[in-house]
Structure 1
Amino acid sequence: MKINQICIAGAGAIGGTLAARLATSGQRVNVLARGRTLAALREEGITLDDLEGRHHAMVNASDKAEELGPQDLILVCTKAPALATMLRQIQPLLHEQTIVIPVVNGMPWWYFQGIEGRFAGERIVAADPDGELARLLPAHHLIGAVVFITASREGPAHVRSGNPHLMIMGEINHQLSERLEAVRELIANAGIEARATDNIRDQLWTKIIANLTSNPLSVVTGATLEQLYSHPDLSPLVRQMLDEILQTAAAYGARIRFDPQTIMEMGTGMGAVRTSMLQDYDNHQPLELATIGDAVVELASRAGFAMPITRHVLALARFLASQRATNNTLNNH
């Protein structure tokens, strides 16, 4: 399968990393962006500083999908609260064979699509409250992905990443396919470790564990990953949340490769990294609590688990976010 037209929909830290890597590998990359980011991309191109040095390339950027035309591969790189808006925006980019890979944190709306079993075809309300995401993007377009890229924006078109890049992809029906291998090869040729899997949901749970045990609590405490997983005042709480999430994952047949202690050690090893949710909180942006946290609690409830510790931490993070939003509103009047 030949992939000629590639679009990065959303040019934040992760989208910028992927755009820079793909463009410097010789691919013609289209970027759907807006505002200052769009202006910077058009004028300066995209710049990435990572472990291998500086990567810079020009890309074809627009805020109008119609100008970019039909795409063979679309990497949707947006925060979960903006996902519906982005999926509406990319409609002109789709043709029958277009592959769409949502690069989004948390539990995906398509989790119960493409598989058989007692929950087949059901909807996770927290991830897709009114079913709009499923309507906007038919399942045959989808390849699931779990992306382990830690990055931050240095400017509108400048991204910095201090950890190795890893992207794991899989068909949502758990089949290995020609198109999956074509995408894996494309990503690998861009200098990103790329793996194809025949069970993307196992990999999703691994990332969800990392996100849910760290992101909401980082908002509550302001702690880095290293502190969350190793500080004596925080790590016992993280471990309790981890146990709750592992119990839920097991109820849905997920096979987690790592034991709890190893997960804690891996989190500590990430160093003094501020989570993406803490960065969003600091920047007065909406938090991805629904897909990272509420969706897992919803699945736990279906399986008969309460997840009390996780619920409390999510409630604290939501309270802080709502207080900040209220203060912002008051300060703007």
Structure 2
Amino acid sequence: MAALKILMIGAGGIGGYYAAKLAEAGHQVVLTARGNHLQALKADGLTVDYEGQVLRHGLPACDHQTLIRDYHPNDFDLVAIALKSTATGAVMTELCDWLSAGSAPVLSLQNGVDNEPLIAEVVGEARVLGGLAVRIGGHITEPGKVFAEGVAQIVMGAWPAQQPKDDPRADLLKVLEVAFNEAGIPTTVTENIRYELWRKLVINNGVNPLSALTHLDTRSLTHHPEFGKVVYGMMAETVKASEADGVNLTRQDLDDMFELISNFNAIKTSMLVDKEKGRPLELDSIAGAVLRRCAQLGVDAPYTFTVNALLRQQQ
């Protein structure tokens, strides 16, 4: 397969790991970052520690102003976004004119269910691929260095759904599925990406906010006699909230997701890492997304409401 040209917007734990794996397979990857992390990437390259395997790659890295100046969106076969969801709106505003000047498809690999609509406002739905990183934990350990763990799967699909006929994204998704799998990234394509995004949000809302509040890892939470019930309760509220988007998750989805996270590695969630480092939390895109939709439906979400309120009081 010919090498793909991929722009990875956000070279943190998730974006850095996938970028390194794609570069290892011979694809041309450009990173965006900022601050000390960017300076280290430019000086010493990207180093990823993945469960004891170390990947090192000297990849082109730049900030967004340099990206706008030195590149055209059509220089890339794919623009992937692996930023915190709290940054999506601001970055879409920042890159609006640049992205609008081209036709490159944009893939979100972020938490939450509200990123794809923000991207679509800028580039149009026909260029948007929804995606999620599954069973992966990762974070920047120091500038230029990333730690990642887990199976690190990707699920992707045309957003909000693949058109039945002549959707140009269908061929691209096949190419990406093959390329990512050959790069050692277990990847599947779905025709119902919104369903998959909501299933991921069930897990994220179940463990991310509560881990930031309690400073416990995912396994400690799910196996705790009291907190395990809170995790399940927050997951159940997320399942209910999905009805507002017409996704209609079921009790089976709830039980599947609880079993999945209960048997996953004992990881620090991204929200717990952010809390420890004093960074903004992705509360609005996780708990907030659930609370807004429950309000639309006229139903209470007491577990999510309480944990969200306690975390906001601490910020």
TM-score interval, smaller chain: 0.7 to 0.9
CA distance in 1, matches of 2:8, 2:116: 20
Deviating more after overlay: 11-20 vs 52-61? 52-61
- The alignment's TM-score, normalised by the length of structure 2, stands at 0.87
Structure-1 residue corresponding to 2:30: 30
CA distance in 2, matches of 1:43, 1:256: 49
Structure-2 residue corresponding to 1:50: 50
Pick aligned residue for 1:169 from 125, 142, 156: 156
1:279-294 aligned at under 5 Å gives the runs 279-294=273-288
- Conserved? CA contact 1:72–1:97, under 8 Å: no
CA distance in 2, matches of 1:181, 1:52: 31
Structure-1 residue corresponding to 2:105: 99
Secondary structure of residue in 1 paired with 2:196 = helix
CA distance in 1, matches of 2:271, 2:258: 19
Pick aligned residue for 1:86 from 91, 106, 110: 91
CA distance in 2, matches of 1:256, 1:2: 41
Deviations 1:92-119 (A, max 9, x none): 35554301112221122445xxxxxxxx
Pick aligned residue for 1:108 from 96, 110, 114: 114
In structure 1, list runs of 5 or more residues that go unmatched: 112-127, 322-333
Pick aligned residue for 1:137 from 90, 104, 123: 123
- The alignment's TM-score, normalised by the length of structure 1, stands at 0.83
- Conserved? CA contact 1:229–1:265, under 8 Å: no
Amino acid in structure 2 at the alignment position of 1:75: A
Pick aligned residue for 2:175 from 177, 182, 188: 182
In structure 2, list runs of 5 or more residues that go unmatched: 163-168
Count of residue pairs the alignment pairs up:
301
CA distance in 2, matches of 1:110, 1:164: 24
Q: Does 1:73 align with 2:63?
A: no
CA distance in 2, matches of 1:173, 1:210: 21
Structure-1 residue corresponding to 2:146: 159
CA distance in 1, matches of 2:188, 2:250: 17
**Superposed CA RMSD:** 2.3
Could you list the structure 1 runs, at least 4 aligned residues long, displaced by more than 6 angstroms after superposition: none
Deviations 1:41-90 (A, max 9, x none): 12222122224722222211112112233322111111122112322343
Q: Does 1:198 align with 2:191?
A: yes
The percentage of counterpart residues that share the same residue type is 30
Pick aligned residue for 2:238 from 233, 237, 245: 245
Amino acid in structure 2 at the alignment position of 1:161: A
CA distance in 2, matches of 1:173, 1:79: 20
